[in-house]
Amino acid sequence: MDPIKKLREHFTEIVRLKYIAYLLGWDMQVYMPPGASQGRGEQIALLEGIIHEKLVSDKTAEIIKKAEGLSNPSLIDVAMLREARREYDRAVRVPNELVKEIAKTTTIGHKTWEKARAKNDFKMFKPVLEKLVSLKQQESDKIDIGPTRYDTMLDEFEPGAKSDWILKIFNDLKSHLIRIIKKLDSSSDKPNQEILKKYYDPEKQWDFSVEVLKKLNYSFEFGRQDKSTHPFTTSLSSTDTRITTRIWEKFLPACLFGTIHECGHALYEMGFKKEIHDTILAEGTSSGIHESQSRLWENIVGRSREFWKYWYPILKKYFPENLKNFPEEEFYRSINSVQPSLIRVEADEVTYSLHIILRYEIEKKLIGEDILASELPQIWNRKMEELLGIKPSDDANGVLQDVHWSGGGFGYFPTYALGNLYGAQIYSKVLEKQPNLPEEFEKGHFSTLLSYLRENIHQYGKIYEPRDLLKKVTGEDLDSKYFIDYLEKKFYPIYKI
């Protein structure tokens, strides 16, 4: 058999096994009965073991080697080889014992974190966090992409990104964000969220979210929406991309923007070209680019004036008791109110990236052994004051708020902020080519934007690496000016500045 075909098929088997593992995870979060969790954990561990074994097998090594000898590979062949090699190397370099130790410790880590957060007790979490840091450092040393351990971790989520590059971008971003927030704070006519905190019937919220999904061209032929504690998107094959949302009776944005955010992720995964379906390339090219798609739809589109010009009259019909006499413009201002707050996942578009920068600065130092785990609460709280001007009431609302570290997920946080930057830069290019987009949104047409994203980003999956993709689409490297510019143009008028 053709060596590249063999490579393709071998990795498709691995990809399919991963999809099966994702179904186990989806079900666990959406429908599994409560008493089934231990058994499910054992199933996931078993399947992950099988996947790992298959990936690091001699057979994989041989298949990759043979395919690497190929002359005149196509663009897709090259990408498949690159990703196969990348995935194989990352896996084979880590000794089995360490893999198991990390798996075991992240399970304990997650449970301990849950308890520690509930009890507001960082000390309880500290020992397992220290162990996780140490294990992940060892893992980094084995994988050794470098130049630093943290760079190796980063590379897992944002291939090719280096921490120096991110540092430069974030430092620039930080000063601009602080400047903008100060300016907004000086306004004498600020919006507030009161209207969003009334009671909104959960069933109607659900129905409205489904109506929005359909208009945004989310396909219920190849996907579905369910409810879960934390919204997420998961692909269970290249023809099955599911999202979840959550409904808060007394906070309208939770379901609405949760749905649009996940829809953005899902549209990416629903748009891969047929040729790469169910292959190693059928994934977003990086966590940052993935996040750019969710945030583009959630924020740039979903919180725009034009979007609500179309949707507000419809939303009013769902909730006349709350919105009948409430002006569209005030609703638009309300969903865009900016307020430094303690919790990342509830942060607005302007302050959000500062939450990320804080985590980035801390985790980089933690991995680099410039700070100790025991210092985290203190450093966290100091940085919160520095960046956002507020101080956590306690660790549950501070350093313990996020799940990521409890699973050893160091290097992931920066991709959230990169997503904002990528999204703004991409959208500015789309607008150049399609200046009529805002007018289309006003009429409830969202397919021109989707077509552009499909053609220029979605279809490629992992064919292009994130940096190359961005350059291909926008002609430039990442530049935070687009995001800053977007924020200023949008929020100063909202704040009557």
Active site residues: 262
Best CA proximity match to 484, nearest among 415, 421, 422: 421
CB 470 within 8 A of CB 163: no
Selected binder of its own copies within 29, 148, 193, 239 (CB under 8 A): 239
Q: Which C-beta is closer to its own copies: that of 45 or that of 167?
A: 45
User: Least separation, in Å, of the C-beta of 224 and its own copies?
Assistant: 5
Out of 6, 25, 29, 43, the residue judged to bind its own copies by CB under 8 A: 43
Shortest distance in whole angstroms from residue 443 CB to its own copies: 28
User: CB of 61: closest distance to its own copies in angstroms?
Assistant: 20
Shortest gap between Cβ of 92 and its own copies (angstroms)?
A: 21
Q: Is 234 in the site for its own copies (CB under 8 A)?
A: no
Give me the sheet containing 233-237, strands edge to edge.
225-227, 240-245, 233-237
DSSP letters for 20-45: HHHHHHHHHHHT--GGGHHHHHHHHH
Judged by CB under 8 A, the chain residues 252 through 281 that form the site for its own copies are: 278
Least gap, CB of 204 to its own copies (angstroms): 17
CB of 48 to its own copies, least distance (A): 12
Q: Exactly one of 10, 52, 90, 242 binds its own copies (CB under 8 A); which one?
A: 242
Under rule CB under 8 A, residue 210 binds its own copies: no
Among 107, 120, 138, 219, binds its own copies (CB under 8 A): 219
Query: 371 near 328, Cβ under 8 Å?
Result: no
The distance between the two most distant Cα atoms of the chain, rounded to a whole number of Å, is 71
Q: Output the CA–CA distances (angstroms, integers) from residue 148 to 168, 184, 414, 441, in the order listed.
A: 16, 38, 16, 45
- For residue 168, how many other CB atoms are within 10 A of its CB? 12
**Reduced to 3 DSSP states, what percent helix, strand and coil does the chain have, rounded to the nearest 5?**
70, 5, 30
Please pick, from the candidates 2, 5, 31, 96, the single residue that binds its own copies as defined by CB under 8 A.
31
Alpha helices, DSSP H, located in 158-200: 163-185
Residue 190 lies near its own copies (rule: CB under 8 A): no
SS (H, E, C) 358-411: HHHHHHHHHHCCCCCHHHHHHHHHHHHHHHHCCCCCCCCCCCCCCCHHHHCCCC
Nearer to its own copies, 54 or 344 (CB): 54
DSSP string, 199-251: ---HHHHHHHHHHHHHHTT--SSS--EEE-SS--EEEEETTEEEEEE---TT-
Residue from 2, 27, 203, 369 touching its own copies (CB under 8 A): that is: 27
Q: Specify the residue, 148 or 239, whose C-beta has the smaller distance to its own copies.
A: 239
According to CB under 8 A, which one of 6, 24, 304, 448 is a site residue for its own copies?
24
Residue 17 as a binder of its own copies (CB under 8 A): the answer is: yes
Measure the CA–CA gap between 75 and 68, rounded to whole angstroms: 14
Quick one: which of 6, 57, 114, 222 contacts its own copies (CB under 8 A)?
222
Query: Which of 379, 342, 422, 350 has its CA nearest to residue 174?
Result: 350
Among 155, 156, 240, 348, indicate the residue that binds its own copies (CB under 8 A): 240
Q: Which stretch binds its own copies (CB under 8 A): 42-50, 99-107, 414-422, 470-478?
A: 42-50
Q: Which of 208, 222, 171, 212 is nearest to 357 (CA)?
A: 171
Q: Tell me how far the alpha carbon of residue 192 is from its chain's centroid.
A: 27
Give min distance, CB of 461 to its own copies, in A: 15
Tell me the C-alpha distance between 141 and 195, whole Å: 52
Residue 56 as a binder of its own copies (CB under 8 A): the answer is: no
Decide: is 47 part of the binding site for its own copies (CB under 8 A): yes
User: Closest separation between CB of residue 36 and its own copies, Å?
Assistant: 4
d(CA 68, CA 81): 7
The answer to whether the beta carbons of residues 54 and 60 sit under 8 Å apart is: yes
| Region near its own copies per CB under 8 A, out of 21-29, 185-193, 194-202, 293-301 | 21-29
Q: Is 392 in the site for its own copies (CB under 8 A)?
A: no
Q: How far is CA 67 from CA 59, 70, 73, 456, 462, in A?
A: 12, 5, 9, 28, 18
Cis-peptide, bond into residue 147, ω within 30° of zero: yes
Q: Under the criterion CB under 8 A, does residue 206 sit at the interface with its own copies?
A: no
Q: Which is nearer to its own copies, 138 or 239 (CB)?
A: 239
| Residue 455 contacts residue 326 (beta carbons within 8 Å) | no
By beta-carbon proximity to its own copies, the closer residue of 39 and 444 is 39
Using CB under 8 A as the binding rule, the residues of this chain from 291 to 330 that contact its own copies are none
Quote the least distance from Cβ 1 to its own copies, whole Å. Answer: 18
Count the site residues for its own copies by CB under 8 A: 36
Contact status: 229 vs its own copies (CB under 8 A): no
Would you tell me which residues interact with its own copies (CB under 8 A)? Answer: 13, 16-17, 19-20, 23-24, 27, 31-36, 38-40, 42-43, 46-47, 50, 219-224, 226, 236-240, 242, 278
